[in-house]
Copies of this chain bind each other. A is one copy, B any other.
C-alpha cells in the first residue's frame, strides 16, 4: 500500500490547518486535540494525557504550558503524589469547547460526505484495527528505549 502514511499524515495536518482557520486563528497545531482530551476527562495527569493523545511527554508538557499561559487550563499537584500534575480546564477552555466540537464534527462530515456508507463501514473497521496495531508497535519500541 504505497504512500499509506503520506495520506494519513496529510489528512491529519490538513485537519489541524482547517480547525485553526475555521476558528479564526484560535488555537493551532494539535491544541484542538488537547481541548477535546482535557474536557473529556478533567483531572488527568500529564502522563495520562500523553498516552491518550499519542504524543511524547515533552510535546505534551510544552503544549500544556502554552495553553496554561493563555489561560485555558490549570495544573495542580496530585494530592496523592505531589510530583504529579493534574490538568483541569478553565472556564475559557470550557467556553470554546462547543466550537471545537462543532468544527471537528463539520470536518468529519464533510470529509465523509461523498463516500458510500458500506465503504465507510469497511474503512472505519480497518482504521480501528490499525490504531490498535499502531499502539502495539509504538509500545514495543518505547520499552526498548
Measuring CB to CB, which residues of chain A are less than 8 angstroms from any residue of chain B? 1, 4-15, 17-18, 21-22, 25, 29-30, 33, 36, 53-56, 59, 104, 107-108, 110-115, 119-120, 122-131, 133-135, 137-138, 141-142, 144-145
Contacts and interface: CB of A to CB of B under 8 A. Distances in A.
Contacts of A21: 138, 141-142, 144-145
What's the number of copies of this chain in the assembled complex?
Answer: 2
Contacts of A59: 29
Contact of A53 (B13, B112, B128): B13
A135 B14 contact: yes
Contacts of A129: 114-115
A128 B29 CA distance: 23
